[in-house]
Structure 1
Amino acid sequence: MAEQQYSRWFPILNIFHGYNREILLRDLLAAAIVTVLLIPQSLAYAILAGLPAEVGLYASILPLIVYGIFGTSRTLSVGPVAVVSLMSATALAEVTASGAVDYLSAATALALLSGAILAVLGALRLGMLANFLSHPVISGFITASALLIALSQLRHLLGIPASGDTAPELIASLWGNLNTVNNLALITGLGVVLFLYWARAYGAGLLQAMGLSSSTAELLSRAAPAMGVLATMGLSFGLGYEARQVALVGFIPSGLPVLNLPKISQPLLEALLVPALMIAILGYVESVSVAKTLAAKRRQRIDSNQELIALGMANMGAGFSGGFPVSGGFSRSVVNDAAGAQTQLASIFTAVGIALAALFLTPFLYYLPKTTLAATIIVAVLSLVDFSILGKTWHFAKADFLAVTLTIAVTLLLGVEPGVACGVGVSLLLFIYRASKPHIAEVGLVEGTEHFRNIHRHKVKTIPEILTFRVDGRLIFSNIGVLEERIYIDLARNPKVKHVILMCSAVNEIDWSALEVLESIDRALVERGIQLHLSEVKGPVMDCLKKSNFLQRLSGDVFLSQYQAFARLG
């Protein structure tokens, strides 16, 4: 019993049963491959967040170890990601504008606060909160954020000064500085972009033609960003990029991050609370979506509540080790999965690889052009752009289309934080709208059967004296008025009606407000000489009805089946 309790809080304990040399080798291989991918990503996303490049390495060490201990996904790779890095940059720029707090301290505080929020939500078992964010809305936000990130990185690609938090600001700033383009930076950056797209499209096929297996070829093709880094570092050193005014990453201090507690004052806490909450929610949704997708392929289970705790602890680890907010990354998690990672130890081994890089490889990164990192980011984020969601939602549900369009527009025109707020608000409004508009169908008997279907969709038998409605959804305070209005409208069109039957086969819940309205409807029908009946009431709903005196006051009967009610009353 005690062992089960420990393994619930520390899922890594579950992996040691049956762990052997073969599994160890697979985890080590996956870690080596992900380390190669994660080093340039970490550097790039730190710069995207407005932080020194080494902070990206720091944010990829302790968070990976902590997630490996607490996480339930065996393949999720945690670290800096594009959207969270952009959100962090926006929040930190606002908080540090006055100069009262330095940028790095604010970044570590933001990570710690985001982690604390996630950990508390996990302890309260509130993993289901992610379900209240509409997936089309999230897709729209990610698409818009990816475009903002790509626009923000064009300045490094072009080698020009530019700034802005919104699409209009970035475009205007870039346009105004086009006369200062550094041609060498542009050629280098475009070369990396073309190489990465070529590697993605043709790299695996070329490697297979050279005799490699499809899986090995696919993995090596995903290491293209690292190849681009090495190649442009060589060019930078050999051709003297620094003397030609091409921006380089420059000096990166060697060593591991120093563990310390971020200083959080009350004003800083108040300023960071809302951004931390937004980063926590979006980071968790992105992370758990990736984890569940990969786990489904292996028929493994992800505990959403434990993932909240794990991601929370990982972010707190980033805060304690001089990092910034992190989340589960899609690309490196897919690589981790494809490379054959078997357990969470692969994440811990990856952290060791990053730590070794921070200790011994940073002097070689001096000559890395920022245009290379910008190209890496642009290619990575443009794969997140999905305008097809607009066409899909337009044909499927206009409400979803409007929600996605609004989220994209607000994010591009007003910035990331308003975009997040809009996305959350629109998701909640969609939920409320749909909860207040249950599907209500008038039904009739399909002749030759005992089944009842919508009179507008099927050829059915009806009786003028009987009006039957099927409610598909809960009967609660937010939607009972819709049912009441529908009953009275249809009664006005059918003066011969003597019986109204509510077919409750799809009703799973009823609250007190709905019950009171049903009592009111029953009284109003009795005054018109009409009886109200119920049919096919589910057990939990019947239990609620029995706790009141509704059934005793009901003018009609409760029938076990709709067919029984139709036969007796007709």
Structure 2
Amino acid sequence: MNKPAGLSHWFPVLGWGRAYDTQQLTGDLLAAGIVTLMLIPQSLAYALLAGVPPQAGLYASMLPLLAYAVFGSSRTLAVGPAAITSLMSAAAVGQVVAADPSAFWDATLVLTLLSGLMLAVMGVFRLGFLANFLSHPVISGFISASGLLIALSQAKHVLGIAASGDTLPDLLPSLWRGLPHTNLITLALGLFALAFLWWSRRRLKPLLLRLGLGPRLADGLAKAGPVTAIVVTTVAVWLGDLTRHGVHVIGDIPQGLPALTLPGWNPSLWAELAVPALLLSVVGFVESISVGQTLAAMRRQRVEPNQELLALGASNITAALSSGLPVTGGFSRSIVNFDAGAQTPAAGVYTAGGIAVATLLLTPFLHYLPQATLAATIIVAVLSLVDFGILKRTWHYSRFDFSVVAATLALTLLAGVETGLIAGIGLSIALYLYRSSRPHIAVIGQVPGTEHFRNEQRHPVQTSPHVLGLRVDESLYFANARYLEDCINQAVAARPALHHVVLLCSAVNHIDASALESLEAIEARLAGAGIKLHLSEVKGPVMDRLCGTAFFRQLSGRVFLTHYQAIQALAPESLA
């Protein structure tokens, strides 16, 4: 009887698949139709961004969606190529195979497979918590900088010029040198696509609603704006024979489904791509789980982070085996999938079917699709991710967080996506360690007429010259143990009439071996000065660990259930 439950844990499809009904089928088919229209131009555009042939984007939108439907725990997450992961892929592979551009796609497949394997292993060993080390300031700074880099990198296609670079110092001079060679026809097509996409994203749905269309139909048509831009500009290039005037188009896209491929085994290449693959995995997982949990909460559903690791791992492995590129749960397409009424991951299966039909039948019609249109699609999508307002918000709220955002943003722009992300994570962890190494320790006294004790610097409180109450607002571990010793020594030295020190431990969730040694040293010093050390409000798990220690056996004072009881026993005359 336990076996099906175990299988459903690893294969969520067995859970929702058993209860699949006609109503869910209708919702999933409608959502799949809308997402398919959105995903075709996105897939082509993100393949262009990743530096691989456009068909790779279509290939990455088929088998990975089937894999996610089997393993994914989110009912509405839509998996496929995404802007940030495509940029990271292009940057990582470009550094490794810069001398051999012909190997770019093969190296991208290796990166995709490595990422998929890492995600799957992290899921099996339940390492989803590692993503918690990517703080919001790091993610926000990284995404904003990456969005700006992506938009600038696509400007060359809108202008119809040659330019290169993965950082601002490389991109801006390259674009500047190319400006005199701008192709005006390409620029006109690109500006039209940009203007139309921007207008359709903000204005088309309200217009359709005013014309009497239903909300769902109006929303679906508005989301299909990129398809309209593709049709209009493609027809314009074809009718005007604009390729003769220097307009760059997608060109021939092979018809048919992808052949199964196995990325080549090159130990040195795999080793060089290992760190980029790990960063790609973490960023893709964070983006995916953030979207998945947000959408699940709206329907009171649940997303399992470790299962999502396994699902994304399977999706990327299948992408690598079918000539694709890295995939993750994209924000925009997942929102569209949710709003369109998707009920289960089967919507992704139907979307994959729609992409497969497009690959079989529609690719000849994409021959004249201008690269400028795809670039405009990317630019409009990624600029919505740029949030420079976080600099102002964090500056006013936390200078530490501001420094993390600013450093991540600046280093990503100036040194590249990998350097910026690693530096942001490193700085975030370093600042956390710094802050936790200097915990807030307050001298506390009784709020008159109550049993509450508060910081004497913030509240009018009653204290005793014979009892020092200290509240430690942090768990005690190796990094802050010595700081606690110094604070107690300084406080004791300033109070010659002192007889008792009481540590209020209500905020202490853990005491490690180094902190325990520091407590033993504090006890020994205080005892030598004729002062007793007491503890109050020690949490149960912490008390369980202390009970068998030499510190507890040698403690000169007592352990009190509440701080009020401690003062009541040690200095009752000070109570008001």
TM-score tier, shorter chain, comes to over 0.9
Q: Number of residues paired by the alignment? A: 570
Name the counterpart of 2:574.
Answer: none
Secondary structure of 2:301's match? coil
Structure 1 residue 199, shift from structure 2 partner: 1.2
Q: Is the 8 A contact 1:132 1:431 kept in 2?
A: no
Structure 1 residue 424 displacement after superposition: 2.0
Instruction: Kindly state the Cα deviation for residue 269 of structure 1 after the two structures are TM-superposed.
Output: 1.0
Partner amino acid, structure 2, of 1:253: P
Q: What letter matches 1:6 in structure 2?
A: L
1:215, distance to aligned residue in structure 2 (A): 3.5
User: Secondary structure of the equivalent of 2:367?
Assistant: helix
**Contact residue 525 and residue 532 of structure 1 kept, 8 A:** yes
Stretch of structure 1 that moved more, 101-110 or 63-72: 101-110
Aligned position for 1:190: 191
CA distance in 1, matches of 2:87, 2:567: 61
Give the aligned residue type for 2:454.
R
Q: Assess if the C-alpha contact under 8 Å between 2:34 and 2:223 holds in 1.
A: no
Whichever residue aligns with residue 199 of structure 2, its letter is: W
Matched residue type, 2:159? L
Residue matched to 2:225: 224
Structure 2: distance between partners of 1:443 and 1:312? 51
Cα drift, residue 187 of structure 1 = 1.0
Which stretch shows the higher mean deviation, 214-223 or 54-63? 214-223
Q: Please name the residue that 1:501 is paired with.
A: 502
After TM superposition, give the deviation of residue 101 of structure 1 in Å: 7.3
Task: Please state whether the residue corresponding to 1:469 is helix, strand or coil.
Answer: strand
Match of 2:398 in 1: 397
Shift of residue 100, structure 1, vs aligned partner: 9.5
Q: What does 1:91-110 align with in structure 2 at a 5 Å threshold?
A: 91-99=92-100, 102-110=103-111
Residue-by-residue CA offset, 1:317-353 (whole Å, 9 max, x unaligned): 1111111111110000000000000001011111111
Q: CA RMSD in A?
A: 1.2
Name the SS of the counterpart of 2:226 in structure 1.
Answer: helix
Displacement of 1:254 in angstroms is 0.4
Residues of 2 paired with 1:437 and 1:15: CA distance? 49
Residues 189-244 of structure 1: CA distance to partner in whole angstroms, max 9, x if unpaired? 11111111111221111010011233332232121111111111111111112111
How much has 1:426 moved relative to structure 2?
Answer: 1.9
Cα offset for 1:157?
0.4
Is the Cα contact below 8 Å between 1:133 and 1:428 reproduced in 2? no
How far the C-alpha of 1:492 sits from its partner, in A, is 2.3
* Structure 1 counterpart of 2:193, one-letter code: V
Query: Does the 8 Å contact 2:259/2:322 carry over to 1?
Result: yes
Tell me if structure 2 keeps the 8 A contact 1:500–1:530: yes
Which residue does the alignment assign to 2:328?
A: 327
Structure 1 stretch displaced more, 455-464 or 209-218: 209-218
CA offset digits 1:526-562 (Å, max 9, x no partner): 1111111000111100111012122220111111110
8 A contact 2:256–2:359 mirrored in 1: yes
Verify the 8 A CA contact 2:114 2:277 in the aligned structure 1: yes
1:477 and 2:474 are equivalent in the alignment = no
The DSSP-based 3-state class of the residue aligned with 1:67 is helix
In the alignment, residue 347 of structure 1 is paired with which amino acid?
G
Equivalent position SS for 1:177: helix
Deviation sequence 1:444-465 (CA, Å, 0-9, x none): 1111111111112222111111
> Which range moves more in the overlay, 95-104 or 437-446?
95-104
Question: Which residue pairs with 1:14 in the alignment?
Answer: 15
**Partner Cα distance (2:163, 2:56) in 1:** 23
* Residue pair 2:138, 2:421 contacting (<8 A) in 1 also: no
CA distance in 1, matches of 2:211, 2:495: 77
Whether the 8 Å CA contact 1:193–1:375 is kept in 2: the answer is: yes
Per-residue Cα deviation, 1:231-282 (whole angstroms, up to 9, x for no partner): 1111111111211110000100001111122112111111111111110111
Q: Matches of residues 525-564 of structure 1 in structure 2 within 5 Å? A: 525-564=526-565
d(CA) in 1 for partners of 2:350, 2:470 = 61
- For residues 96 and 474 of structure 1, the distance between their equivalents in structure 2, rounded to whole angstroms, comes to 47
Pair 1:375-2:385 in alignment? no
Structure 2, unpaired ranges of 5+:
572-576
Q: Report the equivalent of 1:238.
A: 239
SS class of match (1:568) = helix
Give the TM-score normalised by the residue count of structure 2: 0.97
Task: Report the secondary structure of 1:505's partner residue.
Answer: coil
For residues 306-325 of structure 1, the aligned pairs below 5 Å read 306-325=307-326
Identity of aligned residues (%): 54
Alignment of 1:395-544 (within 5 A): 395-544=396-545
Work out the CA distance in 2 between the residues paired with 1:100 and 1:395.
46
Q: Could you tell me whether the CA contact under 8 Å between 1:219 and 1:338 is conserved in 2? A: no
CA distance in 2, matches of 1:439, 1:235: 66
Contact 1:75 1:336 in 2 (8 A): yes
Deviation at 1:51, TM superposition (A): 0.6
* Cα deviation code 1:481-513 (max 9, x no counterpart): 221111112222222221110001111111111
Separation in 2, partners of 1:284, 1:97:
27
